Amino acid sequence: MEWFNQVDETYRNELREFNELNYQRFAAHLDERVGAWEAKILARIGGLEQRMCESESNMGQRTAAFESNMEQRMAGFESRMEQRMSAIEATLERRLAAHTRWMFAVWAALFIPIIGLWFRGG
């Protein structure tokens, strides 16, 4: 029975050593894989950061171009509005002058008979 216990103990020790060696190989392989993945991820992050920086500068250029375009359009719009407003003002002045002349003619046409009636009655 003692011999079986020694053999069993020997097999247990050998199995433990075998498992420890396998675990060490597995841990080394896992560390290697994790290191490779980490390097890939860091490379991709670096590429993304570079593209983001390029995109930000490109976005700044696009924003500046957009603002310039909008300023030009607004200046054109303002000039067209000023032209139309001056045309409307000129039309209003002409119409007001014509309206005023007609009003004086109507007042004169009404005022003359009123004066005639006043002198006749007095």
- C-alpha distances in angstroms, 72 versus 58, 61, 63, 69? 21, 17, 14, 5
Residue 27 within any structural domain of the chain:
yes
| Domain count for the chain | 1
- C-alpha distances in angstroms, 120 versus 107, 110, 114, 115? 20, 16, 10, 8
Residue 79 within any structural domain of the chain:
yes
Residue 14 within any structural domain of the chain:
yes
CA distance 103 to 14: 125
Residue 111 within any structural domain of the chain:
no
Residue 121 within any structural domain of the chain:
no
Residue 38 within any structural domain of the chain:
yes
CA distance 91 to 60: 46
Residue 103 within any structural domain of the chain:
no
What value does the mean pLDDT take over residues 4-22? 85
Q: What is the pLDDT of residues 74-110, one digit of tens each?
A: 999 999 999 999 999 999 999 999 999 999 999 999 9
What value does the mean pLDDT take over residues 30-59? 88
Residue 108 within any structural domain of the chain:
no
Q: Note down the domain range covering 46.
A: 1-91
pTM above 0.85, yes or no: no
